[in-house]
Amino acid sequence: MSAEERSPAVVFRHPWLKDGAEMWRVARDSQRLDLNTPYAYMLWTRDFHATSLVAEIERNVVGFVKGYWRPEEPTTLMIWQIAVDESQRGKGLAGRMLDELAGRTDAYSLETTIVQDNPESNRLFASFAERHGAQHTITDLFAEEHFPDEDDWQAELLHRITPLREDLRAGTTERA
């Protein structure tokens, strides 16, 4: 029996209110994400349930991706945060969550922001674009001077990956 056959199955599902605290824990333990309050994660599970996912193994949340539809561009899924529990890092889980969420939402485009010195996230989104045969553009979005002075903020670069849907590559961008 291979190691993959012995590994417990990963279940992808949309989050529920009860998952908010576990999402917060995974974000906190990542030591990389800007940590929001536990309340924000619970609120997210209520208001953006359909555009977010959790990954669980044996009923334990081991990863999540939080997204929302951009109001001015309703076929674009904006990824707010993605995190994987330390026990599952290096196993491709983040990429699988992105693929799953893009498929479930039927997004035409995907966007996220990443600071320049985050090679893991840069690789994650570059490989996502490659797997989907989509263009990946990176442009300035939020410069350091946009952030409050009291903290040491880095510029956030906008990553836009499009088109994701084969049926729309030559035509409309309406969501089915």
Question: What tens digit of pLDDT does each residue of 117-176 get?
Answer: 888 999 999 999 999 999 999 987 665 565 557 667 676 789 999 999 765 444 444 444
- Residue showing tokens 């999540």: 64
Output b/e per residue, 5-28; b: 16+ Cβ within 10 A: eeeeebebeebeeebbebbbebbe
Tally the domains of the chain: 1
C-beta neighbour count of 73 within 10 angstroms? 13
Confidence at residue 107, expressed as pLDDT on a 0 to 100 scale: 95
pLDDT of 74 reads: 94
Question: How far is the C-alpha of 90 from the C-alpha of 88, rounded, in Å?
Answer: 7
- What ranges in 48-160 are assigned the alpha helix state H? 93-105, 119-131
Predicted pLDDT of residue 142:
62
Residue 89's pLDDT is what?
92
Residue 82 lies in a domain: yes
Instruction: Examine residue 47 and state whether it is found in any structural domain, yes or no.
Output: yes
Strands annotated E in the chain: 10-13, 52-57, 60-70, 73-84, 109-115, 135-142, 156-162
Specify if 174 maps to a domain: no
Instruction: Please report, for the domain that includes residue 44, its CATH number.
Output: 3.40.630.30
What is the percentage of the chain residues whose pLDDT exceeds 90?
70
Please tell me which residue, 132 or 34, carries the higher pLDDT value: 132
- 176 located within any domain: no
Instruction: Give the range of the structural domain holding residue 51, as residue numbers without chain letter.
Output: 3-168
In whole angstroms, what is the distance from residue 152 CA to residue 134 CA?
A: 33
Domain assignment present for 173? no
Q: For residue 9, what are the CA distances in angstroms to 4, 20, 56, 60, 141? A: 9, 22, 8, 11, 38
